[in-house]
Amino acid sequence: MAMNGDENDVTVRAARALRQQPEPGWFQVRDAVIASVRSTPRGGWPLLVDDPRPGTAAGIVRVSGLVLGALLSRALADDPEYAATDIDLMVEGGRLQGISIELSARYRAQLPPVVSRVRARCRAVVAEVIGAAAGVPIHVAVNDVHP
């Protein structure tokens, strides 16, 4: 849509027409492309897990950073005050060094309580998954607003 709101603008009409026309040959390859993307392995950083009962068993337990990221995303979903737009884990030497969360907040939302709630939810997930929530810095930035 044009920034000036002119629905009769040539570029707006052209963009609308192009969106309505499928790419030639797309229907023949669509399923194969989607299956290929879904089956592509995604690598995640292995995170060391703090043993809740040290000394009870030999070995090391690791959790993929992808798992932690997915659990954080799930924990931060469905809040009417904000939407998480990006979650980034900082990992060094197999240890979680920090979490960076970017948010889009609801217009006129009280940001300090929103940020506190996001940090508390992140700490709870990290504590449950890897057991080391206390020392992990959680950076929260509100980069956008929405109605």
Q: Domain with 55 in it: what CATH number? A: 3.30.70.1350
Please tell me whether residues 33 and 70 are part of one structural domain.
no
pLDDT of amino acid 2: 42
List, in sequence order, the alpha helices (H) in 40-110: 65-76
How many other C-beta atoms are found inside a 10 Å radius of the C-beta of residue 32? Answer: 9
More confident site: 16 or 68: 68
Q: Which stretch of 1-5, 27-31, 105-109 has the lowest confidence by average pLDDT? A: 1-5
In a domain, 108, yes or no: yes
pLDDT of amino acid 107: 95
Q: Is the dihedral of CA 120, 124, 126, 127 positive or negative?
A: positive
Please tell me whether residues 31 and 50 are part of one structural domain.
no
CA angle 16, 17, 20 (to 5 degrees): 90
Please tell me whether residues 66 and 98 are part of one structural domain.
yes
| Confidence label for 23 from pLDDT (cuts 50, 70 and 90) | confident
* Span 35-84, pLDDT tens digits: 887 777 777 888 888 776 666 666 778 888 999 999 999 999 999 999 99
pTM of the predicted protein model: 0.68
Please tell me whether residues 99 and 139 are part of one structural domain.
yes
The two beta strands, 82-92 and 95-106, are antiparallel
In a domain, 22, yes or no: yes
In a domain, 65, yes or no: yes
In the predicted structure, residue 99 carries a pLDDT above the cut 90:
yes
Please tell me whether residues 126 and 102 are part of one structural domain.
yes
Please tell me whether residues 56 and 97 are part of one structural domain.
yes
What total of structural domains would you count in the chain? 2
Distance of CA 69 to the CA centre of its chain: 7
* Span 117-143, pLDDT tens digits: 999 999 999 999 888 766 899 999 999
Query: What is the spatial distance between Cα 83 and Cα 86, in angstroms, rounded to a whole number?
Result: 9
Question: Domain of 79?
Answer: 46-146
Please tell me whether residues 22 and 73 are part of one structural domain.
no
Please tell me whether residues 35 and 50 are part of one structural domain.
no
In the predicted structure, residue 5 carries a pLDDT above the cut 60:
no
pLDDT of amino acid 1: 42
85: tokens are 């737009």
Question: For the residues 6-15, what does the mean pLDDT come to?
Answer: 75
Please tell me whether residues 107 and 77 are part of one structural domain.
yes
